């Protein structure tokens, strides 16, 4: 496909999205569903504009994004470190890895009441839950990536007499890069979800709390504005990590 | 031998936990000894709390999966067989997919109120995407010759789907539905913890807030077991039904 036809298809698919938004507007205007339940895109948009120009929505977005990033960075660092230790040692793999597999199917949100029993309804609780939840994808991906080094590369490291640490640093971790980045991308999605739920439960300042408040007060335009911002956060963070992945892994494609 | 090694650490931790709780003699509102958790689990099983609550959660999760996965299946066939539709819908899909299902919890509360309807619709939203994406990929990967055959045989649209497309993509759809089942349970429990007074997630939340750590840990364990059991049954079925052909898809 040439670039022009591809651009045409892209324009077409954006036009379809515009049509969908237009039909949302028409449904909101003419279907008789009261705007308390279904605001049109015009109302949602004006709620977005007033929210951001007043600074309130920007501040809520900042709080949620900050929470998500902090928890995710903590989880990623811990996940890579622990995963590297477990993945690079056969003994640790045999003894510890099966236990990780047992814990894995527990939905991460189920840890929230447990952490809540210890830390109460606090911001720390939310941060800890985000870190616990988003560590799994990174940890398991690192274990897998570090332990699946090509045998010949292992032999190279042996004949070069690299120590365990150097083998890990120069061979196993670069080998695991793709896995780790993919795990981190999933981890960030989990972090956003947990940040939103955590804010809903604790009434900590943030988008999760504010959209729940908006729903309770029947401020549906603010509610939809908040949901749109959360969607944009999900989209942008995913795109950002995808381009980071492409940039970091550019040496692999050759 | 492998299993024995795998059991060493969990068992040692359990014993250590039990001993520590007994020796220190703490009466905690947030921690319980494994023996207390086992008793609480047994009691909650016997008085019907766990079976009843599990049934509520599974009912919501599986209904949502049927609706969301079913729509995802139909949509993926449309996108897969009519490429212009796929190209035209691409932007809308990329924009809608990253919306976290939990962000829609307040919307569902506002429009549907508490109860099954809102939980089912959130599960449906969340399970629609994986089936759509995996299914679409499965159909675009069909051997082109098979589609040529259907053209030569002059199969109608419906005949093409039921005789060629679905049989060829069944293993991949099975994998997609297995993943979507895990998603459905996660979303159902999450919605219950966050808002909906229903099911096992709500029971867990109540146990945590009413300072019953023994029941709380028993429920977390149980939720893990349910997820593990569901996945195990489906994985077993997948191996049985599709053999190596089905397993090859997992690696991707």
Evaluate whether residue B22 is within a structural domain. no
- The helix or strand, by DSSP H or E, that contains position A73, with its residue range, turns out to be helix A56-88
Test A197 with B194 for CB contact under 8 angstroms.
yes
DSSP code for B97: T
CATH number of the domain where residue B140 is located: 1.10.3720.10
Burial B160-185 (b: 16+ CB within 10 A, else e): bbebbbeebbebbbbbbbbbbbbbbb
Range of the domain at B219: 28-248
| pLDDT for res A156 | 81
Chain A residue numbers with beta carbons less than 8 Å from the beta carbon of B190 are 107, 109, 193, 197
pLDDT, one tens digit per residue, over A25-45 is 999 888 878 888 888 899 999
- Interface pTM, i.e. ipTM: 0.87
Among the partner-chain residues A102, A110, A214, the one whose CB lies closest to the CB of B106 is A214
Q: Is A105 touching B (CB cutoff 8 A)?
A: yes
| Token pair of A200 as six digits | 């809903």
DSSP B115: S
Model confidence at A206: pLDDT above 80: yes
Contacts of B203 in chain A (CB under 8 A): none
CB contact, 8 Å: B215 with chain A?
no
A230 CB near a chain B CB, below 8 Å? yes
Q: Is B35 on the interface with A (CB under 8 A)?
A: no
Q: Is B19 on the interface with A (CB under 8 A)?
A: no
Decide if B11 contacts A102 (C-beta within 8 A): no
**Whether the predicted pLDDT of A225 surpasses 90:** yes
Calculate how close chain A gets to B222, using CA atoms only, in Å: 9
So what's the architecture of A40-252 in CATH?
Answer: Orthogonal Bundle (1.10)
Question: Which string of b and e fits B52-83 if b means at least 16 CB within 10 Å?
Answer: ebbebbbbbbbbbbebbbebbbebbbbbbbee
Output the pLDDT for position A166.
80
Say how many domains are in chain B. Answer: 1
Neighbouring C-beta atoms of residue A124, cutoff 10 Å = 13
| A 111-150: CB under 8 A from B | 111-114, 116-118
pLDDT beyond 80 at A197: yes
C-alpha–C-alpha distance, residues A134 and A123, integer Å: 17
Instruction: Give the pLDDT score at B245.
Output: 62
Q: How far apart are CA B5 and CA A238, in angstroms?
A: 39
Lowest mean per-residue pLDDT among A208-212, A246-250, B117-121: A246-250
What is the per-residue pLDDT for B251? 39
Q: Judge whether A241 is closer than 8 Å to chain B, CB to CB.
A: no
In a domain, B13, yes or no: no
Q: Map out the domains of chain A as residue ranges.
A: 1-32, 40-252
Q: Test A13 with B109 for CB contact under 8 angstroms.
A: no
- Is residue A1 very low, low, confident or very high in pLDDT (cuts 50, 70, 90)? low
Q: Across residues A159-169, what is the average pLDDT? A: 80
Per residue in A231-241, pLDDT (tens digit) is 999 999 999 99
The pLDDT value recorded for residue A209 is 93
The residue assigned the tokens 């939905």 is A107
Give the number of beta-carbon pairs within 8 Å between A and B: 160
Do B103 and A211 make contact, defined as CB atoms within 8 angstroms? yes
B21 falls within a domain: no
Average pLDDT of span A192-202: 93
Using the beta-carbon criterion (under 8 Å), do B107 and A17 form an inter-chain contact? no
| Residue A250 pLDDT exceeds 60 | yes
- Dihedral, CA of residue A73, residue B122, residue A234 and residue A119, to nearest 10: -30
| Nearest CA among A192, A190, A185 for reference residue A244 | A185
Whether residue B88 and residue A231 make contact (CB cut-off 8 A), yes or no, is: no
C-alpha to C-alpha distances, A101 to A140, A170, B103, B181, B207, nearest whole angstrom? 9, 28, 29, 18, 26
User: How many residues would you count in chain A?
Assistant: 254
Q: Quick one: closest CA in B to A37, which residue?
A: B111
Going by the DSSP 8-state scheme, the letter that residue A108 receives in this structure is: G
User: Cβ of A38 and B111 within 8 Å?
Assistant: yes
**Least CB–CB distance from A235: residue in B92, B98, B104:** B98
DSSP A40: -
Q: Report which listed range, A67-76, A201-210, B14-23, B222-231, is most confident.
A: A67-76
Q: Which of B109, B118, B189 is nearest to A213 (CA)?
A: B109
Q: Is the minimum CB–CB distance between A235 and chain B shorter than 8 Å?
A: yes
Q: What is the DSSP letter of A217?
A: T
One-character DSSP codes across A109-158: GGHHHHHHHHH-SSHHHHHHHHHHHHHHHHHHHHHHHHHT--HHHHHHHH
Contact across the interface for B95 and A17, Cβ inside 8 Å: yes
Taking residues A207-214, what's their average pLDDT?
93
Per-residue pLDDT band for A14 (boundaries 50, 70, 90) equals very high
Mark the ranges of chain B whose per-residue pLDDT is less than 70: 1, 244-252
């Amino acid at each position: 496909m040439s670039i022009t036809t591809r651009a045409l298809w892209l324009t077409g698919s954006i036009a379809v999205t515009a049509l969908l938004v237009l039909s949302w507007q028409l449904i909101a205007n003419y279907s008789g569903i009261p705007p308390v339940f279904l605001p049109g895109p015009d109302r949602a948009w004006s709620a977005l504009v007033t929210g951001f120009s007043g600074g309130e929505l920007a501040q809520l977005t900042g709080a949620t994004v900050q929470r998500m990033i902090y928890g995710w960075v903590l989880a990623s660092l811990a996940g890579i470190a622990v995963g590297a230790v477990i993945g690079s040692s056969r003994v640790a793999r045999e003894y510890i890895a099966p236990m990780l597999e047992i814990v894995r199917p527990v939905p991460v949100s189920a840890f929230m009441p447990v952490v809540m029993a210890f830390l109460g309804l606090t911001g720390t609780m939310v941060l800890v839950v985000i870190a616990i939840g988003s560590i799994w994808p990174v940890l398991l991906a690192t274990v897998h990536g570090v332990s699946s080094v090509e045998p010949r590369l292992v032999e190279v490291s042996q004949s070069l007499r690299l120590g365990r640490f150097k083998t890990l640093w120069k061979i196993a971790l670069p080998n695991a890069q793709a896995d780790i980045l993919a795990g981190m991308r999933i981890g960030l999605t989990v972090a956003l979800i947990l940040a939103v739920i955590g804010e809903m439960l604790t009434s900590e300042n943030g988008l999760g709390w504010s959209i729940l408040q908006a729903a309770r007060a029947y401020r549906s335009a603010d509610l939809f504005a908040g949901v749109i911002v959360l969607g944009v956060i999900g989209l942008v963070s995913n795109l950002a990590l995808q381009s980071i992945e492409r940039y970091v892994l550019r040496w692999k494609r050759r | 031998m492998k299993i024995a090694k795998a059991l060493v650490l969990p068992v040692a931790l359990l014993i250590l936990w039990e001993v520590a709780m007994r020796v220190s003699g703490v009466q905690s509102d947030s921690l319980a000894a494994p023996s207390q958790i086992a008793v609480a689990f047994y009691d909650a099983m016997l008085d019907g709390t766990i079976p009843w609550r599990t049934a509520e959660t599974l009912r919501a999760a599986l209904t949502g999966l049927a609706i969301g996965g079913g729509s995802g299946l139909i949509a993926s066939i449309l996108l897969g067989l009519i490429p212009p539709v796929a190209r035209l819908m691409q932007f809308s899909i990329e924009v809608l997919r990253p919306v976290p299902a939990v962000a829609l919890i307040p919307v569902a509360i506002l429009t549907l109120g508490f109860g099954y309807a809102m939980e089912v619709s959130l599960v449906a939203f969340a399970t629609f995407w994986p089936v759509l994406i995996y299914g679409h990929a499965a159909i675009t990967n069909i051997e082109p010759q098979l589609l040529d055959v259907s053209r030569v045989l002059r199969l109608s649209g419906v005949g093409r789907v039921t005789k060629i497309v679905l049989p060829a993509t069944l293993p991949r759809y099975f994998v997609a539905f297995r993943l979507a089942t895990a998603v459905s349970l996660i979303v159902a429990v999450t919605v219950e913890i966050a808002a909906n007074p229903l099911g096992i997630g709500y029971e867990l939340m109540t146990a945590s807030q009413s300072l019953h750590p023994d029941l709380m840990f028993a429920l977390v364990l149980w939720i893990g077991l349910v997820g593990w059991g569901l996945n195990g049954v489906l994985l077993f079925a997948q191996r049985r039904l599709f053999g190596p052909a089905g397993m090859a898809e997992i690696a991707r």
